[in-house]
A and B are shown apart, each in its own frame.
Chain A
């Protein structure tokens, strides 16, 4: 009998329970993938984990407005991209203030061969040399597998701009990664 009474308080509790459940489901499915995506954007695993952690907390806070896993994933991804951009900009600000150079690219992989590690560092460094938009478009396209329309949505730019950034970015990457481009069967 009592369960038939829906109080405002009771409803609020159900909503927050939903958000917790959703958060965990999203975490299980996307935590590792999003951290990897953020590593490609910021070039540092520690920073990447912070960025993605913040994005998860923020998504939990917005669950009432998102209310569906697909929208939540799109929001998460967009937040990771935005916060990665902030993290890079902020690192530059601190570096300028301290008048020191930026930290070297930090990549794990103790188990891999020297050749593998060199190639991976070269890819991260090459991405870091691109303008923000080109790097974001290439990573969302070729790592996250998003369509041009989805990238345009995530970045808040037109599909025409996505095309332009993609073609300029991949031309530049081709130059920067010339030694690794032809190793089709490595």
Chain B
């Protein structure tokens, strides 16, 4: 087949595709400025060190009756009637990767309303909030969480959105956040609070598909905007060639000022934990970026190139 014939066949195949006009929708989605997380900045940075221990307990003890381990924090506008508690669960967001959009996770400092379960607060933040790391985004837009209940065999999530219209990434964010919180995979049932949308969307991801939907490299610590000094420990999960996780620290100009690599506990079939010490004692105080990446054995010649996950850190 010559090239002209091939071009003709491709052009012809879609010659009658007349897409709907979506400019109004694109405009309304593009214009609103990003909502900022209320704890981005000083409060989060100050809280990070005290809550770190909570996160470790949280991860190693996947107990379904998980009680939030609470660290009191200064609320910007304390309301005596509403007791605010803060915890640091792992929430999932969408980020760019060479392979396309993938899920990244972030330890997020979140507020628990009085009587609110950790499950409800985590799902609420994923659906109504936004990530701290500016590299991530939420696939949920203008949707409110009505309830999130753990029935034992399923987690039922009721929102203001027609369950049939929930985007795949949006469902993935909730599912992975719930899996991380409960320490096990349960079916997620999305329902709509509006009686006009009676559909229920049953959703789940098999563990074997984690490598398809999750970023192959994830930084758990440091968290975005963390203050570091001396030697700090960076950690996360990765599935990277020969278990090698190259990392580097870049200054604000993007120049590499430190680099090294961590070795994960394994690779190939799932994401494995990695951990490394980073000595920043020789760096001038200021803003830096910690970058962890997957190893690229071909040096960029083949495949989509390495995937990275980054965190802004402040060196004191």
Q: Count A-B pairs with CB separation below 8 Å.
A: 148
Chain A hits for B98, CB < 8 A: 82, 156
Q: Which of B19-48 contact A (CB under 8 A)?
A: 19-20, 22-23, 25-27, 29-31
Ordered by A's residue number, 12 sampled pairs between the chains whose C-beta atoms are within 8 Å are: A40-B10, A48-B17, A50-B167, A53-B26, A85-B99, A89-B213, A120-B12, A138-B6, A155-B304, A157-B302, A170-B3, A181-B5
Q: Are B1 and A57 in contact (CB under 8 A)?
A: no
In the complex, what residues of B have CB within 8 A of residue A48's CB? 17, 19
Binding-face segment, B176-184, B201-209, B244-252: B201-209
Distance, CA A156 to CA B23, complexed state (A) = 29
Q: Is B101 an interface residue (CB 8 A)?
A: yes
Contact A57 B10 (CB under 8 A): no
- Cβ of B9 within 8 Å of any chain A Cβ, yes or no, is yes
Contact with A along B153-166 (1 / 0, CB 8 A): 00000000000000
Whether the pair A53, B212 counts as a contact (CB closer than 8 A) is no
The reply to whether B10 and A49 contact each other, CB–CB distance below 8 Å, is: no
Q: Chain A, 91-111, contact with B by CB distance < 8 Å: what is the 0/1 string? A: 111101100000000011101
Q: Would you give the shortest CB distance from B1 to chain A, in whole angstroms?
A: 4
Residues of A contacting B27 with CB < 8 Å? Answer: 20, 23-24
Write out the residue numbers on chain B whose beta carbons fall within 8 Å of the beta carbon of A161.
Answer: 301-302
Asked if A77 lies at the interface with its beta carbon under 8 angstroms from chain B, I say: no
B7, B26, B205, B301: the one within 8 Å of A158 (CB): B301
Per-position binary interface string of chain B over residues 272-304, scored 1 when its CB falls under 8 Å from any chain A CB and 0 otherwise: 000000000000000000000000000011111
List A residues at the B interface (Cβ < 8 Å).
Answer: 16, 19-20, 23-24, 27, 31-32, 35-37, 39-40, 45, 48-50, 52-53, 56-57, 60-61, 82-87, 89-94, 96-97, 107-109, 111-112, 116, 119-120, 123-124, 138-139, 142-143, 145, 155-158, 160-161, 170, 173-174, 177, 180-181, 184
- Given known pairs A20-B30, A157-B303, A170-B1, the reply for A111 and B12 (CB within 8 Å) is no
Q: Are A90 and B3 in contact (CB under 8 A)?
A: no
| B305 → A minimal CB distance (Å) | 5
- Min distance, Cβ B175 to any Cβ of chain A, angstroms: 10
Contact B30 A23 (CB under 8 A): yes
B45 to chain A, nearest CB (A): 24
**A146 CB to closest chain B CB, in angstroms?**
12
Contact among B17, B23, B203, B303 with A39 in the assembled complex (CB-CB below 8 Å): B17
A102 to chain B, nearest CB (A): 14
Contact of B20 among A49, A139, A180 (CB under 8 A): A49
* Cα A63 to Cα B98 with chains together (Å): 20
What chain B residues lie within 8 Å of A83 (beta carbons)? 100-101
| Complex partner residue of A36 from B14, B23, B29, B305, CB under 8 angstroms | B14
Q: Given A61-B30, A90-B169, A138-B6, is A173 in contact with B12 using a C-beta cutoff of 8 Å?
A: no
- Tell me, in angstroms, the Cα distance from A143 to B30 when the chains sit together: 28
A90 to B166, CA, bound (A): 13
| Least CB distance, B23 to chain A, in whole angstroms | 5
| A92 in contact with B99 (CB, 8 Å) | no
- A48–B14 Cα distance when bound, in Å, is 12
How far is A136 from B149 in the complex, measured between Cα atoms in Å? 42
Interface residues of B (CB under 8 A from A): 1, 3, 5-7, 9-14, 16-20, 22-23, 25-27, 29-31, 96, 98-102, 167-169, 172, 203-206, 209, 212-213, 300-305
**Assembled-state Cα–Cα distance A49/B300 (Å):** 31
Whether A82 touches B1, Cβ cut-off 8 Å, given contacts A61-B30, A93-B205, A138-B6, is no
Please, which residues of chain B bring their CB within 8 A of the CB of A31?
Answer: 19, 22-23
Given A24-B23, A49-B19, A96-B206, A143 contacting B1 (CB threshold 8 A): no
Q: Least Cβ distance of A137 to chain B in Å?
A: 12
Residues of A contacting B303 in the complex (Cβ-Cβ under 8 angstroms): 157
Q: A161-B301, A174-B1 are in contact. List 20 more A-B contacts (CB 8 A).
A: A20-B30, A20-B31, A23-B30, A31-B23, A36-B14, A39-B13, A49-B20, A53-B29, A86-B102, A87-B168, A90-B213, A91-B168, A93-B213, A120-B12, A123-B9, A142-B10, A158-B301, A170-B3, A180-B9, A184-B5
